């Protein structure tokens, strides 16, 4: 942990312990809580070596996670033991910061138990195992080329490579009846993982010459095991993949509470989402009408209501979506957009930006995640904030034939046109996820618990709010087309929440749900076919995460508006945002309390 990231007054435990520590000078019940929380972190990372490596703790780098049934039962027993110890600490005896730490740690434990007992992804989700294996290898190789740590990391990688055949054998023994939609997806993501082992790893082995031969041999055995796993997925698992991807209303509702850590319930979210969709579509019509008169002077759409709106907005969106890069120029375009976006952030004084030498990279999405989403931000390890920060963009989809490839590519690029790619860069990087993580990881206030157990509601809420703050501050003010696409993409957050709830809590036939969701995205949301179908799959293979965007936006927007109202003429956007981001990605309700704002209405 660098000095910039270490919370002031925090002691660092020795080897084998997680660098969280007990704040200096803390005594009594608060010291008891921090000792218990530190013990939970240590046991959690011992049982989850891949998560430990991703967090920057390297005590367990040479091991792969064990997800045999015996290990899963042991995890649950460990979680219950820590839950009882931490829950016994009276929150009234803690400072506000420690109360937040206690809450997020207990939420993580409850979520762990819910997953182990109710969801059981190791039994019903082959992507769970592909993700683990991908992260286990990837996070050992995210070093700078000249790093002196390469021999140590590659020695650990050797241990994990040797464990791959047994890891995949355990996965085959554990997986039972997954949903078909997940198994079909895994045929693609496991192929991407295989490419990383075949093409990505071997060039690194020369950075530990004494281990190179052993690494090559272990990697060859891992590749053979991965190919065998792929064949098994296709020939054995896929034919019996008849599980239900739906959680059902009860489990989805309970998971939603754990994911959001919010007072908003499903009915409140749905009402607010529908109102937001109506308001955004009305605003889109206002922006589109002048453009429509210029672009289509001979087109008349009489009448009122949704039909006229769909026609006018749809024609303009269709026309401006033709302005897009090619497969070859996509990354070059995004790099140029990032430079323009950063210039506006500084000019509008929205938030303090990281320095230009902060090891930020724009890269292709790793194969085992490619296609899960269009883009990701991969933060540096919590305990190693100096490491690379990656803005990943997934490859363009392919359809299995040259004609299908061209059709999918055009659909993808029309959705992620010149203007949409700017919004993507704002959301994932500037001033979205990357800037938010930079503030959190270097904050002297945000404890290690606030950094590790980060709130997706806060993180996604900030990223969507960042898009809104940019356009409200005059970004691309001379381009109404840009604003129109921003508003179109703004429809995604409330639509995501509606789709998440209806798909996982409904008992309707799958075909009916598919038609409803695709119509919502295509007709009401003006999305391209490839985007809508990709989101439909994502909604099925995940649950509750798609609700974080809208709930986070609602709660983070209310915080900014209430703070602006309380400060009056003294409100300064950059100073406020810097303070807000310094808390770490804590649940928005806790950020509101720390800002001493009244409870949300």
The 10s digit of each residue's pLDDT in 89-111 is: 999 999 999 999 999 999 999 99
End-of-domain residue from the set 204, 221, 240? 240
Establish if 105 belongs to a structural domain.
no
Which residue shows structure tokens 């919590």? 382
CA distance 22 to 300: 69
Residues 360, 232: one domain? no
- State the first-to-last Cα distance of the chain, in angstroms, to the nearest integer: 40
Q: What's the domain count of the chain?
A: 2
User: Is 216 part of any domain?
Assistant: yes
Poorest-pLDDT segment among 141-145, 179-183, 513-517, 524-528: 141-145
In a domain, 392, yes or no: yes
Dihedral over Cα of 299, 303, 304, 310: its sign: negative
Residue 545 belongs to a domain: yes
Percentage of the chain lying above the pLDDT 90 cut:
90
Which of 216, 240, 264 is the last residue in one of the domains?
240
> Nearest to residue 312, comparing CAs of 335, 283, 334, 346?
283
Please list the residues that pair with 375 across neighbouring strands: 393
Q: Is 459 buried (19+), middle (13-18) or exposed (0-12) by CB count in 10 A?
A: buried
Residue 498: pLDDT over 80? yes
pLDDT at 27: 80
Give the pLDDT confidence score for residue 2 in this predicted structure.
29
Q: Residue 525's domain spans which residues? A: 330-594
Mean pLDDT of 331-342: 97
Beta pairing partners, 243:
179
**Predicted confidence band of residue 23 (pLDDT cuts 50, 70, 90):** low
In angstroms, the Cα distances linking 2 to 14, 355, 381, 436, 519 are 16, 16, 12, 18, 50
Give the span between the Cα atoms of 127 and 121, in whole angstroms: 9
* Final residue of a structural domain among 175, 208, 240: 240
Would 453 be classed as within a structural domain?
A: yes
- On whether residue 23 sits in a domain, the answer given is no
Answer yes or no: do 347 and 210 share one domain.
no
**pTM of the entire predicted model:** 0.95
- Structure token pair of residue 322: 């033709």
Tell me, yes or no, whether 225 and 355 share the same domain: no
549 and 401 assigned to the same domain? yes
- Kindly state whether residues 339 and 229 are assigned to the same domain: no
Do 365 and 481 lie in one domain? The reply is yes
With beta carbons less than 8 A apart as the criterion, state whether 280 and 487 touch. Answer: yes
The Cα angle at residue 475 between residues 469 and 480, in degrees rounded to 5: 115
Categorize the per-residue pLDDT at 8 as very low, low, confident or very high, splitting at 50, 70 and 90.
Answer: very low
Residues 214 and 349 in one domain: no
The verdict on 387 and 500 lying in the same domain is yes
Whether 236 and 338 map to the same domain: the answer is: no
Q: Same domain, yes or no, for 355 and 216?
A: no
- The DSSP 8-state label assigned to residue 474 in this structure reads T
Residue 387 lies in a domain: yes
Q: Is residue 250 a part of any domain in this protein?
A: no
520: which residues sit within 8 A by CB, 6+ positions away?
495, 498, 499
């Amino acid at each position: 942990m660098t000095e910039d990231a270490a919370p002031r007054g925090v002691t660092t435990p020795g080897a084998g312990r997680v660098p969280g520590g007990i704040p200096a000078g803390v005594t009594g019940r608060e010291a008891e809580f921090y000792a218990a929380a530190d013990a939970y972190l240590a046991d959690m990372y011992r049982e989850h070596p891949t998560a430990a490596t991703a967090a920057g703790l390297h005590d367990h780098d040479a091991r792969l996670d064990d997800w045999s049934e015996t290990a899963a039962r042991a995890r649950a027993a460990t979680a219950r033991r820590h839950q009882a110890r931490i829950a016994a600490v009276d929150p009234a005896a803690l400072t506000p910061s420690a109360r937040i730490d206690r809450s997020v740690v207990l939420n993580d434990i409850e979520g762990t138990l819910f997953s182990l007992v109710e969801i059981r992804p190791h039994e019903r989700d082959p992507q769970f195992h592909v993700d683990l294996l991908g992260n286990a290898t990837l996070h050992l190789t995210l070093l700078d080329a000249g790093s002196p740590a390469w021999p140590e990391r590659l020695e650990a990688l050797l241990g994990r490579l040797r464990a791959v055949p047994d890891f995949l054998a355990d996965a085959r023994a554990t997986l039972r009846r997954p949903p078909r939609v997940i198994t079909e997806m895994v045929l693609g993501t496991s192929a991407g993982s295989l490419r990383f082992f075949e093409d990505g790893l071997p060039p690194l082995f020369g950075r530990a010459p004494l281990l190179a031969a052993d690494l090559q041999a272990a990697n060859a055995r891992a590749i053979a095991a991965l190919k065998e796993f792929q064949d098994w997925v296709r020939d054995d698992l896929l034919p019996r993949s008849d599980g239900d991807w739906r959680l059902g209303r009860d489990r989805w509702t309970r998971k939603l509470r754990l994911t959001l850590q919010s007072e908003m319930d499903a009915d409140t979210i749905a009402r607010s989402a529908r109102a937001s969709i109506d308001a955004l579509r009305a605003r889109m019509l206002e922006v589109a009408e002048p453009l429509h008169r210029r672009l289509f002077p001979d087109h008349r759409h009489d009448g009122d209501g949704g039909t006229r709106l769909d026609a006018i907005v749809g024609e303009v969106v269709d026309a401006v979506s033709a302005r897009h890069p090619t497969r070859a120029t996509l990354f070059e375009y995004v790099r140029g957009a990032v430079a323009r976006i950063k210039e506006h952030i500084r000019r509008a004084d929205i938030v303090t930006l990281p320095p230009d030498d902060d090891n930020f990279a724009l890269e292709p999405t790793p194969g085992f995640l490619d296609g899960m989403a269009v883009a990701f931000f991969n933060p540096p390890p919590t305990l190693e904030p100096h490491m690379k920060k990656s803005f990943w963009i997934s490859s363009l989809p392919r359809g299995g034939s040259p004609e299908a490839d061209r059709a999918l590519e055009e659909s993808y690029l029309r959705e992620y046109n010149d203007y949409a790619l700017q919004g993507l860069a704002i959301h994932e990087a500037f001033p979205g996820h990357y800037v938010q993580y930079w503030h959190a990881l270097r904050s002297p206030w945000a404890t290690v618990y606030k950094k590790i157990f980060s709130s997706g509601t806060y993180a996604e809420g900030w990223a969507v709010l960042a898009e809104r703050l940019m356009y409200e501050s005059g970004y691309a003010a001379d381009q109404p087309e840009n604003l129109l696409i921003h508003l179109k993409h703004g429809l995604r957050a409330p639509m995501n929440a509606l789709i998440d709830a209806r798909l996982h809590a409904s008992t309707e036939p799958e075909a009916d749900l598919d038609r409803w969701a695709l119509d919502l995205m295509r007709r009401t949301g003006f999305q391209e076919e490839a985007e809508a179908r990709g989101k439909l799959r994502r909604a099925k293979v995940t649950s509750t995460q798609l609700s974080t965007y809208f709930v986070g936006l609602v709660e983070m927007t209310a915080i900014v508006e209430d703070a602006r109202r309380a400060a009056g003429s003294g409100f300064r956007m950059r100073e406020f945002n810097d303070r807000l981001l310094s808390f770490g990605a804590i649940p928005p309700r806790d950020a509101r309390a720390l800002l001493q704002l009244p409870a949300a209405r």
